[in-house]
Amino acid sequence: MRTFAVILLLSVIAQSDHKLSFDGKTLDKIPVNPKALKGHMAIFYFWRTDSPTCREQITLLNKLNSQYRKRGVELIGIALDDDIKKFRASLNKLKIVWPQIHDPSQKTPLANALFKGTVNVPAVILIDPQGIQRFSGKVKDLDAAIQKQLKDTPPKPSTKQWRAIALSSLTGASKAIKQKDYDRVVAYLTQVNPKMKDDRQVQMTALAMAGQFNIKGADAQKLKEALKEYPEADKFVAMSQKMSSPQLQALAQQFLKNAPPPRAKRPRMNQASRALGRLKVAQRYAKGGKHHEAYRILNELIKKYAGSDAAIQAKTLVAQYEKDEKFKAAHAVFMQNKEARSSLMMAKNYLVANKIDLAKAALQKIIEKYPKTQTAQEARRELAKLR
Q: What is the pLDDT of residues 175-197, one digit of tens each?
A: 887 888 877 877 887 787 877 77
Distance CA(341)–CA(366), nearest Å, equals 9
Q: Are residues 181 and 293 in the same domain?
A: no
Last residue in a domain, options 202, 222, 257:
257
So what's the pLDDT on residue 258? Answer: 47
Which structural domain, as residue segments, surrounds residue 196?
Answer: 161-257
Q: Does 62 fall in a domain?
A: yes
So what's the pLDDT on residue 372? Answer: 78
Our measurement of the distance from residue 69's CA atom to the centroid of its chain's CA atoms, rounded to an integer in Å, reads: 20
- pTM, full prediction: 0.54
So what's the pLDDT on residue 114? Answer: 60
Q: Are residues 17 and 119 in the same domain?
A: yes
Q: Are residues 104 and 49 in the same domain?
A: yes
Q: Which residues contact 201 (CB under 8 A, 6 or more apart)?
A: 163, 167
Q: Are residues 313 and 382 in the same domain?
A: no
Query: Residue 44's beta-bridge partner residues?
Result: 76, 125
Q: Are residues 56 and 76 in the same domain?
A: yes
The counts of H helices and E strands in the chain are: 16, 9
Q: Are residues 285 and 300 in the same domain?
A: yes
- Residue numbers in the chain where pLDDT is lower than 70: 1-19, 21, 106-119, 207-217, 219-269, 352-353
Q: Are residues 52 and 188 in the same domain?
A: no
Q: Does 286 fall in a domain?
A: yes
Q: Are residues 41 and 120 in the same domain?
A: yes
So what's the pLDDT on residue 269? Answer: 64
Q: Are residues 241 and 276 in the same domain?
A: no
List, for residues 282-319, the tens digit of each pLDDT value.
999 999 999 999 999 999 999 989 888 899 999 999 99
Q: Are residues 170 and 146 in the same domain?
A: no
Q: What are the distances in angstroms from CA 219 to CA 61, 132, 183, 190? A: 26, 45, 11, 19
Pairing of the two strands 133-137 and 123-127: antiparallel
Q: Does 265 fall in a domain?
A: no
DSSP string, 21-79: ---EE-TT--EESTTTTTTSEEEEEEE-TT-HHHHHHHHHHHHHHHHHGGGTEEEEEEE
Domain count for the chain, please give it.
4
Q: Does 25 fall in a domain?
A: yes
